[in-house]
């Protein structure tokens, strides 16, 4: 593999990712913060998390759905996101081992 | 949401690191997976490390590595990286009320600290206490774990077995579900979550990789404008 193009590719990936990380706050510099904008941002921030979960479940099967539901129940019961995450992982691991 | 008077303290930074430590521990095997994948695609260990250090975005690194054939398709690699990481724009915009109170290098490095894994934490911590150290600290420990993991994987060469056995593949799904539940419990606003979930699923096959999440986030955000303003 050509060294120069490898580094060019890595550099491109880094540049693109950096620009996209900066773009969010940059765009918001020009958008004045009104109550409507605040509500939009709040709704959007929970939406992006819900979208990631939904997208993940849509491309996977019952095991993943059950594991994520376990995380939801664990969160309601224990109120710790990391514990809920570990409950999901334990479910996923046990399922993979037994099913 | 209160966003006045942003602080940046060492205490919040170290608390951010501490609060994210367990998650960072689970990020190490993910880093190892990307390091091993990179080396399997003929990157040198150094190149793999540099990629993880500079890009710091696992999903896009895996996606780009799938395209790593000779001759390297630079444009496709750049585009898939942009597409998969487009959601960072949303994350940055959501935290902008706090981030944009910073200037210069602080602003820049804070933007660069943002990744999926620390977004929910930063979002909830900043509401309690507007100290951007929380985001920087959680980002720092995740970055260290990511680079360390990549080094392990690149060094080891090949990982034995699938990550599924340890439930690693459901880590993100579980964590994010927990934060969605937390938000629903506090806000009782279900519409954005439902809208976002539906849009994400329905558009997944018709849009390029990652764009369904961006569209779903925007749709969910807009749906948040419907109904009574909450106090």
β-sheet bridge partners, residue B7: B131
Instruction: Kindly report the average pLDDT of chain A as a whole number.
Output: 91
Q: Poorest-confidence range of A44-48, B24-28, B225-229?
A: B225-229
pTM: 0.80
Q: How confident is the model at residue B1 (pLDDT cuts 50, 70, 90)?
A: very low
The conformation of residue B118, written as its DSSP 8-state character, comes to G
- Ranked by mean pLDDT, which of A29-33, A69-73, A85-89, B227-231 comes out on top? A69-73
CA A91 and chain centroid, separation: 20
β-sheet bridge partners, residue B131: B7
Q: Are B194 and A87 in contact (CB under 8 A)?
A: no
pLDDT at A1: 58
Residue among A5, A17, A94 whose CB faces B72 most closely: A5
β-sheet bridge partners, residue B87: none
Gyration radius (Cα) of chain B, Å? 18
The alpha carbon of residue B222 is apart from the nearest alpha carbon of chain A, in Å, by 6
B136 vs B163 pLDDT, higher one: B136
What part of A 59-78 touches B (C-beta under 8 Å)? 59, 63-64, 67-72, 74-76
Which of A54, A82, A83, A89 is the best residue to mutate to test the B interface, defined by the most B CB atoms within 10 Å of its own CB?
A54
ipTM of this predicted structure: 0.85
Q: How confident is the model at residue B228 (pLDDT cuts 50, 70, 90)?
A: low
Question: How far is Cα B4 from Cα A99, in angstroms, rounded to an integer?
Answer: 52
CB atoms within 10 A of CB A77: 11
pLDDT at B86: 83
Instruction: Kindly report the average pLDDT of chain B as a whole number.
Output: 88
Q: How confident is the model at residue B210 (pLDDT cuts 50, 70, 90)?
A: confident
Q: Are B68 and B43 in contact (CB under 8 A)?
A: yes
B contacts of A17 (beta carbons < 8 Å): 54-57, 60, 81, 85, 88
| Residues A38-61, mean pLDDT to the nearest whole number | 89
Sorted by sequence, the CB contacts under 8 Å of residue A45 that are 6+ apart come out as: B90, B91, B94, B95, B119, B123
Question: How far is Cα B179 from Cα B185, in angstroms, rounded to an integer?
Answer: 10
Q: Poorest-confidence range of A11-20, B1-10, B34-43, B99-108?
A: B1-10
Question: How far is Cα B174 from Cα A53, in angstroms, rounded to an integer?
Answer: 8
The answer to whether the CB atoms of A49 and B171 lie below 8 A apart is no
Q: Are B154 and B35 in contact (CB under 8 A)?
A: yes
Q: How confident is the model at residue B165 (pLDDT cuts 50, 70, 90)?
A: low
**Statement: residue B177 has pLDDT above 60:** yes
H or E element at residue B7:
none
The answer to whether the CB atoms of A40 and B222 lie below 8 A apart is yes
pLDDT at B162: 56
Over the stretch B27-46, which tens digit does the pLDDT of each residue have? Answer: 998 898 889 889 888 899 99
Q: Are B176 and B120 in contact (CB under 8 A)?
A: yes
Q: Poorest-confidence range of A89-93, B5-9, B50-54, B122-126?
A: B5-9
Question: How far is Cα A65 from Cα B62, in angstroms, rounded to an integer?
Answer: 23
| Residues B68-81, mean pLDDT to the nearest whole number | 86
pLDDT at B231: 44
- Residue B94 backbone phi and psi in degrees, to 5: -65, -35
pLDDT at B57: 93
Cα B174 to Cα B149, B186, B188, distances in angstroms: 21, 19, 20
Sorted by sequence, the CB contacts under 8 Å of residue A3 that are 6+ apart come out as: none
Q: Are B50 and B167 in contact (CB under 8 A)?
A: no
Q: Poorest-confidence range of A32-36, B21-25, B125-129?
A: A32-36
Residue among B120, B172, B221 whose CB faces A47 most closely: B221
The alpha carbon of residue B71 is apart from the nearest alpha carbon of chain A, in Å, by 8
| Residues B171-187, mean pLDDT to the nearest whole number | 89
**Which is it for the CA torsion B105, B134, A32, A23, positive or negative?**
positive
User: How many CA atoms does the CB half-sphere of B221 hold within 13 Å?
Assistant: 20
pLDDT at B158: 59
Residue among B78, B184, B212 whose CB faces A13 most closely: B78
Cα angle A32-A34-A36, degrees, rounded to a multiple of 5: 125
Q: Are A33 and B207 in contact (CB under 8 A)?
A: no
- Ranked by mean pLDDT, which of A31-45, B52-66, B74-88, B217-231 comes out on top? B52-66
Which of B89, B105, B174, B184 is the best residue to mutate to test the A interface, defined by the most A CB atoms within 10 Å of its own CB?
B174
pLDDT > 90 in chain A, percent: 61
| Residues A55-73, mean pLDDT to the nearest whole number | 94
């Amino acid at each position: 593999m050509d060294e120069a193009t490898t580094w060019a590719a890595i550099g491109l990936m880094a540049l693109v990712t950096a620009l996209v990380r900066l773009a969010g706050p940059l765009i918001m510099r020009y958008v004045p913060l009104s109550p409507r904008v605040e509500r939009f941002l709040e709704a959007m921030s929970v939406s992006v998390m819900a979208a990631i979960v939904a997208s993940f479940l849509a491309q996977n099967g019952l095991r993943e759905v059950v594991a994520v539901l376990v995380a939801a129940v664990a969160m309601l019961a224990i109120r710790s996101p990391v514990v809920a995450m570990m409950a999901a992982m334990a479910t996923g691991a046990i399922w993979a081992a037994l099913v | 949401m209160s966003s006045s008077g942003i602080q940046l303290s060492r205490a919040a930074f170290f608390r951010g690191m501490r609060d994210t430590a367990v998650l960072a521990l689970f990020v190490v095997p993910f880093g190892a997976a990307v390091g091993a994948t990179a080396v399997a695609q003929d990157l040198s260990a150094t190149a793999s490390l540099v990629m993880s250090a500079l890009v710091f975005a696992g999903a896009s690194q895996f996606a780009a590595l799938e395209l790593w054939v000779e001759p390297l398709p630079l444009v496709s690699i750049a585009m898939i990286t942009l597409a998969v990481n487009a959601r960072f724009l949303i994350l940055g915009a959501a935290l902008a009320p706090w981030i944009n109170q910073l200037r210069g290098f602080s602003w820049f490095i804070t933007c660069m600290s943002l990744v999926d894994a620390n977004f929910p934490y930063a979002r909830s911590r900043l509401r309690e206490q507007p100290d951007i150290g929380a985001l920087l600290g959680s980002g720092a420990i995740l970055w260290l774990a990511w680079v360390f993991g990549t080094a392990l994987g690149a060094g080891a060469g090949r990982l034995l077995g699938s990550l599924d056995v340890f439930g690693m593949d459901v880590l993100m799904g579980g964590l994010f579900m927990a934060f969605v539940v937390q938000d629903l419990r506090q806000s009782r606003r279900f519409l954005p979550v439902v809208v976002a979930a539906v849009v994400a699923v329905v558009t997944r096959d018709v849009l390029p990789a990652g764009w369904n999440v961006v569209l779903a986030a925007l749709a969910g955000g807009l749906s948040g404008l419907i109904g009574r303003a909450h106090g």
